[in-house]
């Protein structure tokens, strides 16, 4: 996924799943088995992000000896979904996968290109001392910022979440809930409010964080290891080690 803030673009590895597609960003999908490379462009993505993604896509294309197919949101060919979901070209989309695709499109429609924001809340101090805006290089919240002792307010566009860490205090949670309720009332119609406990986050919250991973020891650990192996292989083959698919930011002009 590629995202931008000011003149800086970021690239981050995300799971190949419809839920992670974001209308404000651009996603590169590499299907090594089919030697296919798709550049999915969200309807609200900026020209700067699209240009930065195209630079990275060409490097992947060179490594795969393939070409880049640009895909516009809401105009995806069947081949794109087959690659994203790990299906063969001759495989029809199962009904449950079609429902997953439709649900992700509905979430993007509700979010309408709105970029998520996150604040940590403390029940101490006064005024703005009680709230801290948390963001990464491109302005988006990042999963590592959700610390065990923290309570965070997350604006997801369609819903405001109060995320509660395992070691968070009741005072912090109470204040965050009050602030989230007041914050949601400033929108017309009022934004929905939802609680999320650490370790049991709903899909609607997880999709706001690029590259969300679950705690080690869960059932999908093997899947995470497979993703990391695939990422390492792509980095080696395309010469992108230390440039993209990492935790830092990189200028679009590189």
Per-residue pLDDT at 214: 67
Residues 250 and 254: their CA atoms lie apart, in Å, by: 8
DSSP H or E run through 61:
helix 47-64
pTM for the model stands at 0.67
Per-residue pLDDT tens digits for 153-163? 999 888 899 99
Per-residue pLDDT tens digits for 2-28? 555 444 677 777 788 898 898 989 999
Residues of the chain with pLDDT under 50: 5-7, 216-224, 235, 238-254
Distance from chain centroid for Cα 52: 17
Name the average pLDDT for the chain: 81
Residues 65 and 180: their CA atoms lie apart, in Å, by: 50
- C-beta atoms surrounding 91 within 10 Å: 12
Exposed (0-12), middle (13-18) or buried (19+): which is 59, by Cβ within 10 Å?
middle
DSSP H or E run through 154:
strand 151-155
Per-residue pLDDT at 121: 96
Distance from chain centroid for Cα 56: 18
Per-residue pLDDT at 245: 33
């Amino acid at each position: 996924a590629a995202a931008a803030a000011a003149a800086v673009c970021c690239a981050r590895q995300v799971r190949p799943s419809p839920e992670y597609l974001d209308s404000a960003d651009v996603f590169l999908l590499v299907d090594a088995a089919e030697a296919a490379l798709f550049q999915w462009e969200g309807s609200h993505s900026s020209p700067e992000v699209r240009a930065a993604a195209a630079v990275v896509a060409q490097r992947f294309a060179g490594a795969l000896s393939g070409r880049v197919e640009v895909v516009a949101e809401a105009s995806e060919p069947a081949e794109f979904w087959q690659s994203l979901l790990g299906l063969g070209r001759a495989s029809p989309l199962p009904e449950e996968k079609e429902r997953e695709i439709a649900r992700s499109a509905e979430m993007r429609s509700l979010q309408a290109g709105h970029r998520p924001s996150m604040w940590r809340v403390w029940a101490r101090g006064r005024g703005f001392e009680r709230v801290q805006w948390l963001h990464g290089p491109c302005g988006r919240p990042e999963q590592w910022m959700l610390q065990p002792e923290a309570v965070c307010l997350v604006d997801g566009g369609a819903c405001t979440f109060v995320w509660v860490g395992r070691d968070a205090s009741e005072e912090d949670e109470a204040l965050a809930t009050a602030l989230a309720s007041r914050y949601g009332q400033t929108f017309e119609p009022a934004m929905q409010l939802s609680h999320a406990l650490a370790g049991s986050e709903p899909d609607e919250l997880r999709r706001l964080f690029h590259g969300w991973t679950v705690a080690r020891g869960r059932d999908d650990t093997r899947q995470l290891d497979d993703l990391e192996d695939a990422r390492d292989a792509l980095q080696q083959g395309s010469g992108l080690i230390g440039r993209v698919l990492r935790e830092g930011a990189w200028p679009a002009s590189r």
